[in-house]
Amino acid sequence: MCALSRESTGIRLTKRGTPGARDVNSVAESGHPPARTWVDTALALAALRPSADTRVERLFQEVARQADLERADDLLDRVAVALGWSPPERCARIARAWHVAGEALRAGRAADLTPVPWGVGAYPDLLRQLPDPPLLLWVRGDVTALSQPAIAVVGSRAATPASLTVARALGRDLANAGLVVVSGMARGVDAAAHEGALEAGGRTVAVLGCGADRVYPSEHRALARRIAASGAVVSELPPGMLPLPHHFPLRNRIISGLSVAVVVVEASMHSGSLITARAALEQGRDVLAVPGGVTSGRHQGCHALIKDGARLVETVEDILEEVGWQRAPAVPHALPSKSLQISELEGTMAVGEPYSVDELAARTRRTTPGLLTELSALELAGRIARLPGGSYVRLD
């Protein structure tokens, strides 16, 4: 064992590998304590991770089951031995891990992030059950949002208007059904799903592939603030960490791990959303997919999932039925009159599908000038949108 500090952590791991459940506030002290806390230890363990793999998390589970471990250094040393490092390399890596842990804790405190280590009472049960759970989560917002029943909605960053409409509607309908919506706050489908949940006054959780004190992409700063105000922005990566490519597969296993099911909206065969779907299957979660057009290749990933047995999603009811979720009774309320007034032109347009002026003229048998006048009025009212190239799409 390395000749490192031997002070007791005050944490005893049982043979089941679960530290005594503690309130998260009791392990997030305002000053760095003389004796290492379980937060320090979890951070140091996470700092031992080689690149983007999760061997440290898996080895931690194995080591923690094998023996009662009363000292932080014992725990790190056993994991380092299991990784096959030589004694000199072991000592150097462990010493650096403790240094990185201390720096991360100070940075997290400065950024007003809450550290939630594996094993405390606030750590989400669904994540705890994974073979490679994040050893510590950094959370901005409400930690309890991570432990509520949730559905993940993921998909293409460059999604079509129709898919964005579907993702937004699913986010809104899932939130209205009382479920938390989990996604990755990326452009496209992710952002649309978050927005839909927020529009419904629901809770949503964004899992990042960078430090939780950063916002990626940067144009989602306002969205991140809104998410944290009612739900949570979360990452297992330390504060300040950049959004590097190898971080996103790690992020994806957390998106699926927090959720009882993953819904994929528009994914090509090379989409990162399929990584999330694979993680979900490995974790025993339900996988569902929204079908789309067959000519562009944008939906091939979703179609492949459906062929392999994923539930086809047309409405939120398909999701609720698949996971066995019972809606809360609806509360009747008056709708604004404009939401009931659908014009003849709108009635010929399917929500989310693009239409050229010529197509609309053929459908309605109207002249182009008259159509353009009404289209302009509908666009100003926020009921349709004009797309690049001059086509129009009806909004939900």
Q: What angle do CA 153, 159, 162 make, to 5 degrees?
A: 90
Q: Give how many domains the chain has, as a whole number.
A: 3
- Residue 278 forms part of a structural domain: yes
> How far apart (Å, rounded) are the C-alpha atoms in residues 215 and 222?
10
What radius of gyration, in Å, describes the C-alpha atoms of the chain? 24
By residue count, the chain amounts to 396
Residue 286 sits in the same domain as residue 358: no
Domain that holds residue 32: 24-111
Residue 148 sits in the same domain as residue 224: yes
Q: How far is CA 327 from the centre of its chain?
A: 23
Return the number of other C-beta atoms located less than 10 Å from residue 60's C-beta.
26
Return the number of other C-beta atoms located less than 10 Å from residue 294's C-beta.
10
- For residue 165, what are its two tokens? 């409409």
Residue 64 sits in the same domain as residue 208: no
Residue 77 sits in the same domain as residue 208: no
Sheet holding 384-386, edge to edge: 354-355, 392-394, 384-386
pTM here? 0.76
Asked if 312 contacts 357 with a C-beta cutoff of 8 angstroms, the reply is no
- For residue 109, what are its two tokens? 């405190």
pLDDT, one tens digit for every residue, the chain (396 residues) = 564 433 333 333 333 344 434 444 444 443 333 357 888 888 998 888 877 778 888 888 777 666 554 566 678 888 888 888 899 998 998 999 999 999 999 999 999 999 999 878 899 999 988 988 999 999 999 999 999 999 999 999 999 999 999 999 999 999 999 999 999 999 999 999 999 999 999 999 999 999 999 999 999 999 999 999 999 999 999 999 999 998 999 999 999 999 999 999 999 998 999 999 999 999 999 999 999 988 888 999 999 999 999 999 999 999 999 999 987 655 444 334 333 356 778 878 888 888 888 888 888 887 766 677 677 677 767 788 877 667 888 887
Q: Is 383 helix (H, G, I), strand (E, B) or coil?
A: coil
Contacts of 367 (CB under 8 A, 6+ apart): 361
- Residue 328 forms part of a structural domain: no
Q: What angle do CA 269, 179, 338 make, to 5 degrees?
A: 90
> How far apart (Å, rounded) are the C-alpha atoms in residues 104 and 242?
14
CATH of the domain at 168: 3.40.50.450
